[in-house]
Amino acid sequence: MAVTIKEVARVAGVSTATVTRALSSPEVVRPATRERVREVAASLGYHPNRAARGLITGRTGNLGLLVPDLANPFFPSIVKGVQGRAHEADHAVFLADTDEDPAAEAGLVRKLAKQVDGMVLCSPRMAEAELRELAAEVPTVLVYRRIPGVPSVTAEFLDGMRQAVSHLVALSHKKIAYVAGPRSSWANRERVRSLRAVTRKSEVELTEFGNVAPQFHGGVSVADSVLASNVTAVIAYNDLVALGLLHRFAARGVSVPGDISVLGFDDIPLAEMVHPALTTVALPKEEAGQAGVDLLLDRKPAVRRELPTQLMVRGSTGPAR
Amino acid sequence: MAVTIKEVARVAGVSTATVTRALSSPEVVRPATRERVREVAASLGYHPNRAARGLITGRTGNLGLLVPDLANPFFPSIVKGVQGRAHEADHAVFLADTDEDPAAEAGLVRKLAKQVDGMVLCSPRMAEAELRELAAEVPTVLVYRRIPGVPSVTAEFLDGMRQAVSHLVALSHKKIAYVAGPRSSWANRERVRSLRAVTRKSEVELTEFGNVAPQFHGGVSVADSVLASNVTAVIAYNDLVALGLLHRFAARGVSVPGDISVLGFDDIPLAEMVHPALTTVALPKEEAGQAGVDLLLDRKPAVRRELPTQLMVRGSTGPAR
DNA sequence: TTGAAAGCGTTACCAC
DNA sequence: GTGGTAACGCTTTCAA
């Protein structure tokens, strides 16, 4: 049986009320009493039961975190960010993985809703209307998704895309491809929009492929189509797709960046481990998770934070052939 | 404000006790009453407050999961397994990442202990004595660690190592290296033990390197030493270390598997994405997570499950030069 | 500065 | 079958 506040009170020779105060409002109890209580609590290994506390305060000290697929290396970093910052703020984190199933999202959120002070929804795939409903039921912060009226943390996609295209233009690429990710992905829509906006002002001719799954095999499956076109560079929805392209190109004996340049998005750890290393637009991941928690705990309504992006130039991009 | 059991009782014209029974022990209440209560509950959108329920039943419907580092691609798969199975059993999952800090583990477990029905500890680094203490305080299942008296899920390392060595022997390798992982890692100790046992019975000469960090850079850092020895094959503590070896070998112009064969452990998704693809001993990951939850919820005391391993032969191993 | 007691939402026990 | 009520562990009045 776990040690309760009663036990601490008994041993310390005070009332339970004093124990509570010694622990959560130290300034209102006489120093001597406070220290005695704290010592007893420590020696007994007392930790308040947060469920019981939540019952009366209305605050659980818990956060909920929803991700589409933990197997996608983009998300663990965000989870680490959320988790780390939450623990700093003395909150525990419920994790739910939806396996890329938009239909499962709302149910999972509602199930957790009553046990948490707020939810961090990471790249949710569900429809905007449903998302808004949910946000009305439980304090919500969106990470890598933006809808009006709901606090969110995203990155400067437009600027990232500008860096990417400038880089390719500087290498004399004139015809470039974009391999699109899931249609339901807000990030994909943003990337397409940014890319079109950036290329419209330049001499670059854009060809679009997809949509593919945001995974390695998505890139593999579209690689041959990309090769069959006459582009000299390809920007992938994300790094996993880019790695799939690299893989298939290598298997076909196509040289990267000799024959074609490849550029990804995200900067997952893997990007640096492959040969050639992947040029990619780095998105803030841990930082985004931390910022999400900050927004949630500060309760500033409808704040939008947009974090900077950074092109990481590596071996997979080179001069146009 | 959420709707409570009182509200339902009032509207249905029964006592709160009857509402509880209608919902959780349907057989003991008269069908007519039961239906009326259920309809009212549904129409009001009533969901029992799990924290309040837990206070009295002693069961929270929550599980805790501790991992050393979510950024290591081995762990997200386990988390997915735990998460998925827990949700099937209508349990939510608290996730805690210790950032490879053994000292942080016990504190995190104790903080979660009161809010959960049990903890899944994944590759915990802490000392055995401390682990045993913890297991006495809260129902615990160990994944990828084994100590007497505590339920655990591990894999057949010995058999996996046997498969690995047989494979190399069949390719005429006579001198092989092992790159050891962290000294504090139980998995590393098991692998060393298995490897020694297997090679003792064969003609193979074993050279040991390390210990290195269980990460990409760990492999990079030891690669030159391995090359300087006269081995024709190297078995790495895990896939990340193996990838580090591959990376450095490529940078040195060493051909794999022409000059040296490389073999990993884990079968993380990356293993298939690199060139040459990594031959590795696949460990059950999602399955291990699922089995961990099963053990926890079944409450069978001190069960040890040992899941099968499978050598995945890929491009990074070939005939000895 | 401290203690007694009410109450958070739920379930379990004991009467009826 | 059903209702009243104590109890879970905690925080927050209200008095002293």
What Rg value do the Cα atoms of chain B yield, rounded?
Answer: 25
Query: Taking 90 as the threshold, does the pLDDT of residue A114 lie above it?
Result: no
Residue B243 φ/ψ, nearest 5 degrees:
-65, -35
Residues 43-102 of A with CB under 8 A from B: 45, 47, 49-52, 54-55, 60, 62, 65, 70-71, 73, 75-77, 79-80, 83-84, 87, 92-97, 99
Section A87-116 average pLDDT: 92
Whether the beta carbon of A36 falls within 7 A of nucleic chain C: the reply is no
Contact B110 A273 (CB under 8 A): no
β-bridge mates for residue B175, sequence order: B205
- B225-257 confidence digits (pLDDT tens): 999 999 999 999 999 999 999 999 999 999 999
As a whole-number percent, the residues of chain A with pLDDT over 70 amount to: 99
- B19-73 confidence digits (pLDDT tens): 999 999 989 999 999 999 999 999 998 989 999 999 999 999 999 999 999 999 9
Q: CB of B219 within 8 A of CB of B212?
A: yes
Starting at the edge strand found earlier in the chain, the sheet holding A175-179 runs A205-209, A175-179, A233-236, A261-266, A279-282, A310-312
Q: CB of B93 within 8 A of CB of B63?
A: yes
Contact A80 B97 (CB under 8 A): yes
- B98-157 confidence digits (pLDDT tens): 998 999 999 999 889 889 999 999 999 999 999 999 999 899 999 999 999 999 999 999
| Cβ-based neighbours of B94, under 8 Å, separated by 6 or more | A62, A92, A93, A94, A95, B62, B63, B64, B65, B112, B115, B116
| Cβ-based neighbours of A198, under 8 Å, separated by 6 or more | A158, A161, A162, A165
CA atoms within 13 A on the CB side of A164: 37
Helix (H, G, I), strand (E, B) or coil at A237: coil
Spatial distance between the Cα atoms of B194 and B210, rounded to a whole number of angstroms: 17
Look-up of token digits 């149910």: A107
- A158-191 confidence digits (pLDDT tens): 999 999 999 999 999 999 999 999 998 999 999 9
Chain B residues whose CB is inside 8 A of the A274 CB are 273-275
Q: For C6, which residue's CA is nearest its C1'?
A: A56
Torsion of CA B141, B146, B149, B150, to 10 degrees: -10
Strand bridging mode A152-155 / A140-143: parallel
H or E stretch covering A178: strand A175-179
pTM of the predicted model as reported, rounded to 2 decimal places: 0.92
Q: What is the pLDDT of residue B232?
A: 98
Spatial distance between the Cα atoms of A108 and B29, rounded to a whole number of angstroms: 30
- B163-180 confidence digits (pLDDT tens): 999 999 999 999 999 999
Closest nucleotide to the alpha carbon of B4, via C1': C9
Among B5, B70, B216, most A C-beta atoms within 10 A, so best to mutate, is B70
Chain A residues whose CB is inside 8 A of the B60 CB are 51
Q: What is the pLDDT of residue B262?
A: 98
Question: Measured in angstroms, what separates residue A111's CA from nucleotide D11's C1'?
Answer: 26
Angle at A304 (CA atoms; ends A299, A308), nearest 5 degrees: 125
